[in-house]
Amino acid sequence: MLIKNAPDIRPSEITPKSLYLRRREFLTSAGAAIAALTAGAFDGEVASAAGDKLPVIRRMVTTSDRPTTYNAVTTYNNFYEFGSDKSDPAIYGKSFKPKPWSVAIEGDCAKPGVYTLENILKPHPLEERVYRHRCVEGWSIVVPWVGFPLSELLKRFQPTGNAKFVEVTTILRPQEMAGQRRQFPSLLPWPYTEGLRMDEAMHPLTLVATGLYGEELPNQNGAPLRLVVPWKYGFKSIKSIVKIRFVETQPLTTWVQEAPEYYGFYSNVNPALTSSTYRNQGTERRLGEFFMRKTLPFNGYADQVASLYANMDLRKYY
């Protein structure tokens, strides 16, 4: 057994993981404005992207808020597969290889199988959608995503009447993802999984994103495929998808497994939600802005999605 001297022991090795991660989230939230400044979020112009151009056929703008700069969106990320610091994905994601790629379709559907990235993308014309995003840590961004409705993809596989939920899984590739190699303390149980109720998955706002700012997704933002669910907290928008499974019962997602009192399955943006374990969600700091702003119910998309949760207690089903 290896015994370390006191100066060699990292705080994360002697602090319970759940408290350690939450402490990091608090510090991150408090320093968001500074990090955004150093990331270029206060620049007068949106920095240019560097990926391959995508053929966008239409544009949907869902907010009058100005998009966050490309530099901030691509250097200030939560993607624990590459590490827990906001700068880790951009640093350690460089070695990740998003092509070739395939997605396994499983569960209660008529057309299961393994589909290549090209097969997934080919039938779907791309559109740009400018969405707000709210992180549970208290910061927010506005991103022009490029992609297509998740509903159009799911219909191709003909889900059966037993399919009540969709379970989505991120790739497990520790040789390329530094956060997945970490043994003690492990950041999260891998692979990362998320899920949506079928009506949420089929909602017109739910997007399969393949790019941002008119160009291909960078690795740190979930290349080559990620979900974007703008009325939910950011961790629901799962990245680098390799499996979609249609299931009858609510899937056990990663954060529900890890900290159910803190991260609920639904994770709808709810400014009224506050408790001893769930910090006040009533305000947020937009990257690139100094002052706090009020958080809107369902992140400002209540008119479109509130009907999905009629008669549900959103403090219980958080």
The pTM is what?
Answer: 0.85
* Rounded average pLDDT over 256-261: 90
Give pLDDT tens digits for 133-176.
Answer: 999 999 999 999 999 999 999 999 999 999 999 999 999 999 99
Q: What is the pLDDT of residue 3?
A: 32
Give pLDDT tens digits for 66-92.
Answer: 999 999 999 999 999 999 999 999 999
* Rounded average pLDDT over 239-246: 98
The number of beta carbons lying within 10 Å of the beta carbon of residue 294 is 8
Q: Domain ranges in the chain? A: 10-309
Q: What is the pLDDT of residue 8?
A: 38
* Rounded average pLDDT over 278-302: 92
Q: What is the pLDDT of residue 279?
A: 65
pLDDT at 10 over 80: no
pLDDT at 59 over 70: yes
Question: Which class in CATH covers the domain with range 10-309?
Answer: alpha beta
